[in-house]
Amino acid sequence: MGAVQSQRAGDSKGHEQPPSLSTFIPRCDVGQECYGCDLSRTDALTDQECVDIMLSQAVMRGDLQDMQRALAKGAQVNTIADITLNMGIRDRKRVKKVTPLMRACEYGHEEVVSRLLEVRADPLRQDTRQWIALCYALGAGELGAARRLISETNAVANEQKDIVMSLRHSVLEQCEEDVGEEVVAEVSKELGPGGFLWQQGGKNARANQNGRGKLHTEQDSKS
């Protein structure tokens, strides 16, 4: 109580002023990244949570310098730390298990994508919808980030393409909602024959063949 009282000061009329927000903020080695902490929380963020959140926020801003700073302080490259932890938000419907690589792809920060992959970010990690980082890039219409991701993860490129194809409907639906039909058409084109996401003999090829077969069956039934 004494510590709180010592933070108070009178105004020009002698009225007591309430303590500042900084009085209650849990101490965190990365400073500003933890300034949104919920005052009602009884469990202060750990240093690890702080640097992990710092990494995620830097990635979303496309700030390579702050990203490097977070990694140097021990942030986990595949962290799924919830960026709202320091705001006290508890939304059970929100998508969770989102990695920094997913966020970089969603925001189209290609250089950040490359740097995260250099430090062993996992492109096959899945969120609570089963989306991988490539889904995030395509769902946001960020084809540049998608190309960068595929080109730098050649060893698991086909596996990523198969996962995207199995989630194609939800990815394209998200893309249309976020950036519109024109971009959806571009993404769909890249998923088809000749596109950089096309995998001959993969799920997208089989789905394409099944679609043509269904069309022929419907046409035959009409003739």
Amino acid at 19: P
State residue 149 phi and psi, 5-degree precision.
-60, -50
Other Cβ atoms within 10 Å of 152 Cβ, number:
15
Cβ partners under 8 Å of residue 71, min gap 6: 55, 77, 119
Mean pLDDT of 195-210: 68
**Looking at residue 90, what is its pLDDT?**
47
Kindly report which listed range (69-73, 149-153, 219-223) carries the lowest average pLDDT score.
Answer: 219-223
- Spell out the domain ranges in the chain: 20-94, 96-223
Other Cβ atoms within 10 Å of 218 Cβ, number:
9
**Looking at residue 92, what is its pLDDT?**
52
Domain 96-223 sits in CATH at 1.25.40.20
Q: Where is pLDDT greater, at 33 or 126?
A: 126
Instruction: Read off the tokens for 82.
Output: 């919830």
**Measured between alpha carbons, how far is 16 from 160 in angstroms, rounded to an integer?**
60
Instruction: Read off the tokens for 13.
Output: 């009329």
pLDDT at 143 over 70: yes
**Looking at residue 21, what is its pLDDT?**
34
Convert the pLDDT of each residue in 95-141 to its tens digit: 899 999 999 999 999 999 999 999 999 999 999 999 999 999 999 99
71 neighbors 119 (Cβ within 8 angstroms): yes
**Looking at residue 60, what is its pLDDT?**
97
Which residues face 10 on adjacent strands? 16
pLDDT at 222 over 70: no
The angle formed by the CA atoms of residues 209, 213 and 214, to the nearest 5 degrees, is 120
Other Cβ atoms within 10 Å of 223 Cβ, number:
4
Q: What is the pTM of this model?
A: 0.73
**Looking at residue 94, what is its pLDDT?**
75
Which residues face 100 on adjacent strands? none
Q: Where is pLDDT greater, at 184 or 24?
A: 184
**Measured between alpha carbons, how far is 223 from 211 in angstroms, rounded to an integer?**
19
**Measured between alpha carbons, how far is 219 from 20 in angstroms, rounded to an integer?**
72
Convert the pLDDT of each residue in 108-120 to its tens digit: 999 999 999 999 9
